[in-house]
Structure 1
């Protein structure tokens, strides 16, 4: 992750807090998940969510300081289900509130790059949005 993006995100968070926001959540898709984990590790946000994360390591998850949702794909070369399950175990062991789900029959990028003519793809993309929205509603009060 580039330090430039992290610093820019911190400036945005500071501006939101200046406007009166008392809690901030961040969602990252694919490589954006890495930025979200960096914000969660630095205690900059109060809740995090990521879909089909890329470049997120076990060490990143070990350092997470806020509730986090991880939405994984059944077929994913960047974050295979085995890695996502490892993330879940780390979070369980650490006591960090978390939601981890592996969506069946989908592949990396399914939440943002799917065939809108494929009813199954649409169903799971929509369900991921519901799950993420619910996560933030529960954790950003």
Structure 2
């Protein structure tokens, strides 16, 4: 595997302050958070969220930030209204393995396909950039192919197989955390070799002193985390502005 399966670090994090500006709408009956730009650039960003789903303040705020850069940004519910329950997990009453079994490619891929189809054929966007955090990174990688996503950025990925990464055909940028039990140094090096062999545009930025989840759920009161979170967002925007 190019990254290990999700673990406890995938559900740790800090709720960020702010008021989301978007709205919950439907794409093919799928609840989706829409963040619309004041000055659209004609392209869209599809955020594949983490185990908390789209009704989560942090991912909605970051969708708003992408929209402020000119991108129509959507965060669909990839989990059929069944996000991880943090209280049950921390209380030892949540079976993460069983939950993952309910949310595998057989259930997630059809939702992603429907959203991509809607963006391309109903909303007529000129290109689609994929963003994936942790759990969602796997599904960004699975859809980074012809006639699906045009470019992608993933942060602290989990559950990505080497076969999935080897199958991409479009540019990929990765934000990695130094302290990560899932996207380890060894997995990062493995991913780098796979990407180099593909001869596609790629980028892997390593952020020192931060842990898995920093790009979406980091404690922004810590200077090092705030710096890494801000730079990782800029990494994504710069990558998209160049490659879309």
- TM-score, normalized by length of structure 1? 0.92
- Considering fraction of residues, name the structure with more helix: 1
Offset of 1:100 from its aligned partner?
Answer: 0.8
Are 1:34 and 1:53, in contact at CA under 8 Å, matched by a contact in 2? Answer: yes
Offset of 1:102 from its aligned partner?
Answer: 1.3
Q: Distance in 2 between matches of 1:131 and 1:3?
A: 31
Can you give the 5+ residue segments of structure 1 that lack an aligned partner in the other structure?
none
> Is 2:123 the partner of 1:9?
no
Are 1:54 and 1:78, in contact at CA under 8 Å, matched by a contact in 2? Answer: yes
> Aligned with 1:90: secondary structure?
helix
Root mean square deviation, CA, Å: 1.4
Q: Distance in 2 between matches of 1:126 and 1:29?
A: 15
Give the alignment of 1:28-107 within 5 angstroms: 28-41=132-145, 43-107=147-211
> Aligned with 2:217: secondary structure?
coil
Give the alignment of 1:111-130 within 5 angstroms: 111-130=215-234
Looking at both structures, which has the greater relative contact order when contacts are Cα pairs under 8 Å and sequence separation is at least 6? 2
Alignment partner, residue 22 of structure 1: 126
Are 1:72 and 1:81, in contact at CA under 8 Å, matched by a contact in 2? Answer: no
Q: Distance in 1 between matches of 2:236 and 2:185?
A: 18
- Larger-gyration structure (1/2): 2
Offset of 1:9 from its aligned partner?
Answer: 1.3
- TM-score, normalized by length of structure 2? 0.55
Q: How many residues align?
A: 140
> Is 2:241 the partner of 1:137?
yes
Q: Which moved more, 1:30-39 or 1:55-64?
A: 55-64
Q: Distance in 1 between matches of 2:235 and 2:173?
A: 9
Can you give the 5+ residue segments of structure 2 that lack an aligned partner in the other structure?
1-103
> Aligned with 2:170: secondary structure?
coil
Q: Distance in 1 between matches of 2:216 and 2:205?
A: 17
Are 1:69 and 1:99, in contact at CA under 8 Å, matched by a contact in 2? Answer: yes
Q: C-alpha deviations, 1:48-68, integer Å up to 9, x for none?
A: 111000001222211111111
